[in-house]
Structure 1
Amino acid sequence: MVTIGYFLASEQFGPRELVDQAVRAERAGFERLWISDHFHPWNDAQGNSPFVWGTIGALSQAVDLPITTAVTCPTVRIHPAIIAQAAATAAVQCEGRFILGVGSGEALNEHIFGDPWPNAPTRLRMLEEAVGLIRRLHRGGMVNHDGEFYHVEDARIYTLPEDPVPIYVSGFGKRSTRLAARLGDGFCTAMPDRDLVELFRAEGGGSKPVQAGTKVSWSRDDTGLEYAQRLWSNELLPGQLNQTLPRPADFEAAMPLISTRAVANNFATGADPDMHLSHLRQYLDAGVDELYIQQIGPDLDGFFTAYEKDILPALR
C-alpha cells in the first residue's frame, strides 16, 4: 500500500503559508509531509527560502503528520553536528514522527560562504562522513571526531528523542543510489525511475522505504501550465546544471532552454483527474512506498478539494 503525502515547497512559500498548507493537507487526507531545505529559491520568481528548522517546529504544533526533510545537505553550509542537534530537536517536537532526509546538495545553496564547490565523488564522501557523525551524536554521550572533512571536540547532544532519528539518503544517479542503499535507512528520489528503485533494493536497500516527490499544477484553466513553466521548469534542466549553477539568476538565464511542450509532458496541469492520475501512477509503477505531491499553482482550494474527492481515493 503506497502512502500519499504532501510536499511543502520552502522555495515558493513562506513559513506561515507552509503551515497552513500542511493543516489543509492533513484535513484532505494526505498522510505525511515532505519539506524542502533551501537557502535560496531556484529562481527569483519562486520568491522564498524560510529556515526549514523553524518551520518544522511550527509544523510539529500544527499537525500530527510525520515529516521528512527533502532534503537537507549536512556537509557544507551547515556542519553535520549542528544538523544532528536540529534533527534531534525536530524528532522530540514531532514525538518521533521525524525523518532526516539528506543529500549531497547543490551549489545554489551551499556556495554562500565562498568555499570551493566539491566534485560529485568528494561530495558523496563528505555525505557519508557526515551521516556517520550525526548517528554517533544521536547515540548520546560525548563525541570526538577527527575525520577527513569534519572535526568535533567534546560534543554532546542532550535533547534526544527516545529512538534514533531515521536518516534517508537521496539519489539521482547510480553512484549516489548505491551509497543510499548502503548508508540510508531509506531512499529519497524525485524521479519515477524503476531502475534506480530496483538498484537501491538490490545494492542493500532491500525493503527499506523509498520516498519520491513530484509537483503538479492543478488549475481550472491554462494558468497551471504557465505557473509550471515560469516557476519550476528549472527541474528539467539537463546534466549537472541543477547541482552546479550558483545563483537564482543563473537558473533564470537557463530556464528558457526548456520548452513549453517539455513542461507539459513532465507536469500534470489543469483539472482533469485522469491527467493527474496518469502522472502520479508513474511513481507507483516505479515501486515507491511513499509519494509526496506538491501543488505549485495558486488554486489551493481547488487542488485540495479535487485531491480529497477524486485523486487520493483513486490512487489508493
Structure 2
Amino acid sequence: MSPRIGYFLSCEEYSPSQLIEQAKLAERAGFEALWISDHFHPWNDAQGNSAYVWGMIGAISQACSLPITTAVTCPILRQHPAIVAQAAATAKVLTNGRFTLGIGTGEALNEHVLGQRWPNTDVRLSMLGEAVDVMRQLWTGESVTHHGDHYTVEDARIYTLPDEPVKVYVSAFGPKALEVAARIGDGLCSTMPEADVVSSFKEKAGPGKPAQVGYKVSYSTDPERALDYAHELWFNEGIPGEAAQVLSSPKHFEQLAPLVTRDAVAGSTVHEADVDKHVAEFAKYADAGYDEVFIADMGPEYEGFFRFYEKDVLPRIRG
C-alpha cells in the first residue's frame, strides 16, 4: 500500500501568511496532510522566521481541511506539558479531529530560552515520558494533580476537549529514543529513510502504530538557483552529530556553515525540476516502510513547486 503523501510547512523559513498560502496550495495540488515545525528560533538568520505554531495551526485549520501534525513539539522545557495538552486539545477541536501531536526531546536552540539547564539525553527522555503521562491524564477531562520527578500539576482540568484523545507520535533518533517512542507513542516521526528503524519501531510498538517521515527538496527550473536556496537557507541539515541538539543560537549554526560545502549539499539534496529525481527521492522513504511521507520545499519558488508536483510528480508517485 502506498504511503499517504503530505507537505511539510517550515515555520523557520516562511512568514505566517506564506505558511497559510502553502497549506491551501498543498491541498489544491493533491497533498493529503500537513506537517508543521515548532520552533522558537530559526536554524539561521537567513531563514528569518519562527511563527508560533499554535497560532499557525488555528489559522490553517480555518483555511484548509488537511490533517496537521506538529513535527515536532518539545513539551519538556519551553512548553510545560499541561499547556501543550491544552493547546493540542484545542487544535484537535479546531481541525475537527484531524490533528496529531508529534513530539520529541527538542534542541537547545529552542528550549534554552527560559534559562533552564539543557539536560542530557537520558534526562530529556525521562522528562518526555512523564510529559506524555501528564498530557494523557489531562485529556481524560478529569481534574489532575500530579507530583512527579519533573513536573507538578495542581488541580488542573481541560474543558475544551475533542471527541477522542489526541494521538501522540514520538520522534526517535538512536536506540534509547526508539525504545521510548515504541513504549509511549501512538506513532513514530522521523527524517531518515531507515527501514531498520521503521521495522524495529513497529515490532516493539505493536500493530496499528504508523510511522511518519519528512524530508526537504529545493525546487527551481534553474538547478543552480535551487542549489543556492538549499545551501544558503538549509546548510544546517548537513551539520553532523549532536551539534543540532546542543547549539543554542542561530549564530552558532552560522559559525559552522563553512563546514557544509555547496558540493556536499548538491550531493545530498534534490535541487532541480527533474521528475525522475524527485520520484526516486520519494521512493527511498516509501521503500523504508513509512506510512506517511511529508515533503518540504526550500526557497521562494513554492508556487512552481506545487504546480510541478500536482502535474508531474504526484501522478508518477501514485502511479
Match of 1:234 among 233, 236, 253: 236
Q: What is the rounded CA distance, in whole Å, between the counterparts of 1:18 and 1:95 in structure 2?
A: 20
Give the residue type in structure 2 aligned to 1:245.
L
Q: Which aligned segments of 4 or more residues in structure 1 are displaced greater than 6 angstroms?
A: none
Moved more, 189-198 or 96-105: 189-198
Structure 2: gaps of 5 or more residues: none
In the other structure, the counterpart of 1:40 is 41
Residue 213, structure 1, aligned to residue 203, structure 2: no
Deviations 1:167-193 (A, max 9, x none): 100012111112111110000001111
Q: Is the 8 A contact 2:233 2:299 kept in 1?
A: no
CA distance in structure 2 between the aligned counterparts of 1:79 and 1:64, rounded to whole angstroms: 28
TM-score, normalised on structure 2? 0.97
Structure 1 residues 151-178: Cα deviation after superposition (integer angstroms, max 9, x where no partner): 0000000000000010100012111112
Separation in structure 1 between the aligned mates of residue 204 and residue 298 of structure 2, nearest angstrom: 34
Q: Secondary structure at the match of 1:4?
A: strand
Work out whether residues 10 and 38 of structure 1, in 8 Å CA contact, stay in contact via their aligned partners in 2: yes
- 8 Å contact 1:267–1:279 — kept in the other structure? no
- 2:267 is the alignment partner of 1:289: no
Are residue 77 (structure 1) and residue 83 (structure 2) matched?
A: no
- Give the Å deviation of 1:301: 2.2
**Identity within the alignment, %:** 56
Aligned to 2:277: 275
Output the aligned Cα RMSD: 0.9
- 1:53 corresponds to which residue? 54
In structure 1, how many angstroms separate the alpha carbons of the residues matched to 2:216 and 2:91? 25
Q: Distance in 2 between matches of 1:67 and 1:205?
A: 24
Q: What TM-score do you get using the length of structure 1 for normalisation? A: 0.98
Q: CA deviation at 1:196?
A: 1.0
Q: Which amino acid aligns with 1:234?
A: N
Query: How far did residue 11 of structure 1 move?
Result: 0.3
The match for 2:312 is: 310
Distance in structure 1 (CA, Å) of the matches to 2:207 and 2:173:
18
Deviation at residue 32 of structure 1 after TM alignment: 0.1
How far is the alpha carbon of 1:133 from its aligned partner?
Answer: 0.5
Name 2:302's counterpart in structure 1: 300
3-state SS, counterpart of residue 32 of structure 2:
coil
CA distance in 2, matches of 1:266, 1:115: 35
Contact 1:178–1:199 (Cα < 8 Å) also in 2:
no
Q: For residues 204 and 45 of structure 2, what CA distance do their matches in structure 1 show?
A: 39
Q: Distance in 2 between matches of 1:165 and 1:111?
A: 27
Partner of 2:132: 131
Cα distance, 1:75 vs structure 2: 0.3
1:205 Cα offset (Å):
4.3
Aligned equivalents of 1:275, 1:140: Cα separation in 2: 48
Paired AA for residue 5 in structure 1: G
Aligned to 1:176: 177
